[in-house]
């Protein structure tokens, strides 16, 4: 099998991840729910993961690392903490439904800026033209469909200049590109655990520059006498029992990223991207590509008069795992002009080899 759907979930994990999950299942209980050895082991594991994430993402206080179920959960907390009915919100033209739908749900007045694919200058000009009077900016760091790396640090600078809070969707950049909480100065940064951080599904992180409003309420293992959630992080936003086993695996994934280095991970993925672009150059496929600076290890393609789902099925038959369709991001497809067809997406990881990508390209050419 050649697994090229890492933008959805990194299936191939470092061995330490499954080992950490297995150990947690056998030896850890619930943090904050007792002083016995299994409970304390869980509390230590959860705190160690907070510290590891704080170190990777340059967060001063580990308590501002909040664990979520996934990036969608974190984005819902962030957006519903900052936006309400009528809020004027500026977003990029490449946002995922995890941004668009919560904004629509609260009744925000949404403006879209930067619709040109792989054109950072256009995005920044459009943001600067439209940001005045906005109450919130929500912006993805990397498009999940096209691998387009948006100029998030320049967007953050604009937000500071106009005193507009920023929420960053780091779903496709965490673990691959530098995500620096201090430099971004964001109100919130949301990310999944199961993609570039190599954690299990059901894990995520929300970095909190703001305190945030509760999305759900319940037991926190602290201040149990109060009828209200604690007013301090992370307890305020972590109602209920933690996913200790998932968090243990996530910590192992984060440690792998720190050891490997995001710059090395990105370099490897860009190498695979170049191989695919070169191998399919001159073919009947339309590839959506940028330059070496503004595309990560994600590439979409389509073929005229060929249904993307059918093309993906032919790849599945040859044991190649990809993603086809609209990828939960119709706004990105509208911006790129692919809303009527969708695309077939290929996404890489450190565990994908150059030979695997070349083999995939030979099969693609054979299908044509």
pLDDT of residue 178: 97
Average pLDDT over residues 26-38: 92
Query: Rounded to an integer, what distance in angstroms lies between the CA atom of residue 79 and that of residue 311?
Result: 36
Centroid of chain to Cα 39 = 30
pLDDT of residue 361: 98
Residue located via tokens 């933008």 = 7
What is the average pLDDT value for the chain, to the nearest integer?
A: 97
Coil/strand/helix, residue 139:
strand
State pLDDT tens for residues 145-199: 999 999 999 999 999 999 999 999 999 999 999 999 999 999 999 999 999 999 9
State pLDDT tens for residues 227-265: 999 999 999 999 999 999 999 999 999 999 999 999 999
Q: Are 42 and 244 in contact (CB under 8 A)?
A: yes
pLDDT for residue 8 is more than 80: yes
pLDDT of residue 146: 98
Average pLDDT over residues 356-362: 98
State pLDDT tens for residues 190-213: 999 999 999 999 999 999 999 999
Q: Cβ atoms within 10 A of the Cβ of 359, count?
A: 15
Strand partners, 90: 111, 137
pLDDT of residue 292: 85
Residue 26 CB partners (closer than 8 Å, separation 6+): none
pLDDT of residue 221: 86
pLDDT of residue 344: 98
pLDDT of residue 304: 87
pLDDT of residue 161: 98
Nearest to residue 352, comparing CAs of 365, 361, 339, 342?
Answer: 361
pLDDT of residue 174: 98
Query: Rounded to an integer, what distance in angstroms lies between the CA atom of residue 147 and that of residue 140?
Result: 11
Query: Rounded to an integer, what distance in angstroms lies between the CA atom of residue 323 and that of residue 318?
Result: 14
Render the burial of 12-21: b for 16+ CB within 10 Å, e for the rest. ebbebbeebb
Q: What percent of the chain has pLDDT over 70?
A: 100
pLDDT of residue 32: 82
């Amino acid at each position: 099998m050649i697994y090229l759907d890492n933008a959805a979930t990194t299936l191939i994990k470092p061995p330490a991840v499954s080992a950490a999950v297995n150990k947690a299942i056998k030896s850890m209980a619930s943090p904050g729910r007792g002083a016995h050895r299994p409970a304390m082991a869980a509390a230590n594991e959860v705190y160690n993961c907070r510290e590891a994430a704080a170190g990777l993402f340059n967060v001063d206080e580990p308590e501002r690392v909040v664990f979520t179920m996934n990036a969608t959960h974190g984005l819902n907390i962030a957006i519903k903490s900052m936006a309400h009915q009528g809020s004027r919100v500026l977003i990029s033209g490449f946002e995922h439904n995890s941004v668009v739908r919560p904004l629509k749900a609260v009744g925000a007045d949404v403006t879209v800026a930067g619709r040109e694919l792989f054109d950072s200058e256009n995005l920044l000009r459009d943001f600067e033209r439209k940001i005045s009077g906005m109450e919130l900016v929500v912006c993805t760091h990397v498009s999940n469909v096209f691998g387009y790396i948006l100029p998030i640090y320049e967007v953050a600078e604009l937000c500071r200049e106009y005193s507009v809070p920023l929420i960053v969707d780091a779903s496709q950049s965490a673990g691959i590109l530098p995500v620096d909480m201090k430099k971004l100065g964001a109100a919130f940064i949301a990310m999944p655990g199961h993609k570039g951080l190599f954690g299990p599904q059901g894990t995520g992180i929300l970095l909190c520059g703001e305190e945030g409003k509760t999305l759900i309420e319940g037991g926190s293992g602290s201040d149990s006498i109060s009828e209200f959630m604690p007013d301090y992080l992370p307890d305020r936003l972590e109602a209920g029992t933690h996913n200790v086993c998932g968090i243990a695996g996530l910590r192992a994934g984060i440690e792998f990223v720190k050891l490997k280095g995001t710059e090395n991970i990105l370099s490897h993925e860009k190498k695979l991207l170049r191989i695919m672009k070169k191998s399919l150059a001159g073919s009947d496929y339309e590839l959506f590509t940028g330059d070496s600076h503004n595309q990560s290890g994600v590439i979409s393609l389509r073929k005229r008069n060929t249904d993307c789902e059918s093309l993906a099925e032919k790849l599945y038959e040859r044991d190649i795992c990809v993603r086809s369709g609209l990828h939960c991001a119709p706004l990105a497809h509208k911006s790129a002009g692919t809303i009527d067809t969708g695309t077939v997406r290929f996404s890489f990881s450190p565990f994908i080899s150059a030979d695997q990508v070349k083999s995939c390209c030979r099969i693609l050419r054979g299908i044509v």
